Structure 1
Amino acid sequence: HRSQSGRQLAKTQHESKDAYAALFSRIPAPDVLVTDGLRGAESACTEVWPGARIQRCLVHVQRNTRADLTSKPRLQAGRELKKLSDRLTKIHDAEAAARWGGALNAWHIRWRDFINERTWAEDDPSNPKAARQEWWWTHQELRRCYRRLEKLFRQGRLFAFLEHELTEGGPVARTTNRLEGGVNSPLKHVLLDHHGLPEEHMKRACEWVCYMKSGSPDPASSIRPEHWKPAGPPATETKDDAGNGTPGYGTGIDWNDFHTHVAWKSND
């Protein structure tokens, strides 16, 4: 079993641990949960599905890296770390994953002292942090980015999709793209196309989209007999001049219904 979790999965106002736990309790435990990194989803998975592995969406990991370092890091250490993050989606076997982990460790050895540098409030009194902190990490974003990558690698959440015991049942997704593009995107579009719906109607619209994505949707079964009206009689049709019995122009609409005679107005 595979399971994917995204921003539209839990039909609640807040994606909390309890909301996800209530949702997961209704679903059979999967082998692996592919998640975008929301703490509520991962905590609920650990509690409700203790035997399930977690695969962090690699695209979301790369987005987090860009959020910390920007697309064009100014520092050399940041450029090297972003290049490592960009390689994540290009890894397709366990050997390449091991080399990636070795490269991340080598980066840390090279830049360990750099990311451990501190700035003291007395040395930078104009910094807003100085009013509430005695010191802070000088390269906080760079440090946070490294620690995220290192923790995910150590926990086995970056390359779980390569583990043999999980792939025996078929390929394991490494991103939530199928959910984002296949379910979440249509949900967003239906709400944009029907902008202004009351909240309850928005929920019904989203439920309908999800239902049509299910294994065997039967939309006709949702129509109540009292709401169904048979179609009226078809418009009469003329036969063509060739006399071979093929349908000609219909007579359901009369040209004169849309055109009335208007006297020509002269400019004289």
Structure 2
Amino acid sequence: LGTNPRHEASRQLLRLAKELTRVKDGDAMAAWLGAYNAWELRHKDFLEQKSIWSDGSENDLHQRLVKARDTMRRRIRERTMFTFMDPGLGIGTPVPTTNNAIESANARIREMPGNHRGLCLIRRIKAVCWWCHQHTEHPESAAWLARHAWRDEQIEHLYRQAWERSDEGRQQVFGLPARYGTGIDWNESHTSTPWRNTD
């Protein structure tokens, strides 16, 4: 959808998505679901518009909006849209409506390797493990960490396994052909149209 959608249907869905953070009880949930259902009915024809490609194939004209709608439908159907309101979770305190706190911690973990680019890969992995350990609720002592920390060989083995399962790793280790988007295309740097001097 983006932050400034062009179409009215997209703007309305963005407003609905922002209203999700204000849903705190069953009445608000029912009202939100009613508003979402009304949005789908109101923009049904708009969402069903197709574009026809030169080869005759059809595709959704408003792909990003249709994808957002399908995501909402799936979350509602799977009953995961309002998981934070589920009394069966057995949590006494209210569950946050967003995962911003989790993503904030994840962003700091993702920053660690970049902040320590001078270290070799294994040391950067250890730095991430150390950061995670230090930010647990009850971190163990330095002596415990020294006894139980992963050895370089263990990290190398796990990294190697992960690498071999990745697309790039399979290409290098097993000689599988590269997938689209991983190579240089001759047409990206050459053109059949002569360059015109417009000076």
Which TM-score bucket, shorter chain as reference?
A: 0.5 to 0.7
SS in 1 for 2:43: helix
2:124 maps to what in 1?
202
1:109 maps to what in 2?
41
Q: State the 1:223 CA deviation.
A: 5.4
2:138 maps to what in 1?
216
For the Cα contact (< 8 Å) 1:72–1:79, is it kept in 2?
yes
Identity of matched residues, %:
30
The TM-score normalised by the length of structure 2 is: 0.65
Q: State the 1:177 CA deviation.
A: 2.5
Larger radius of gyration: 1
Cα RMSD (Å) = 2.1
2: CA distance, partners of 1:152 / 1:93: 18
1:166 maps to what in 2?
89
1:150 maps to what in 2?
73
SS in 1 for 2:59: strand
SS in 2 for 1:87: helix
Query: Which of 171, 190, 193 pairs up with 2:115?
Result: 193
Aligned pair count?
Answer: 146
Query: More relative contact order in 1 or in 2 (CA 8 Å, sep 6+)?
Result: 1
Query: Which of 70, 78, 97 pairs up with 2:10?
Result: 78
For the Cα contact (< 8 Å) 2:50–2:61, is it kept in 1?
yes
* Aligned pairs for 1:10-49 within 5 A: none
1: CA distance, partners of 2:62 / 2:142: 59
> Which has more strand, going by share of residues?
1
Bigger drift between 99-108 and 69-78 goes to: 69-78
For the Cα contact (< 8 Å) 2:113–2:125, is it kept in 1?
no
Query: Which of 32, 57, 60 pairs up with 1:134?
Result: 57
Equivalent AA in structure 2 for residue 194 of structure 1:
H
Residue by residue, what CA displacement relative to the aligned partner does 1:167-225 show, whole Å, maximum 9, x if unpaired? 5544334333232223x23323433332222111111101111111223323431458x
Gaps of 5+ in 1: 1-68, 122-129, 225-268
2: CA distance, partners of 1:200 / 1:206: 10
Gaps of 5+ in 2: 148-199
Equivalent AA in structure 2 for residue 209 of structure 1:
W
Q: State the 1:70 CA deviation.
A: 1.9
1:177 maps to what in 2?
100
2: CA distance, partners of 1:78 / 1:186: 32
Equivalent AA in structure 1 for residue 79 of structure 2:
G
The TM-score normalised by the length of structure 1 is: 0.49
Residue by residue, what CA displacement relative to the aligned partner does 1:137-157 show, whole Å, maximum 9, x if unpaired? 112221111111122122111
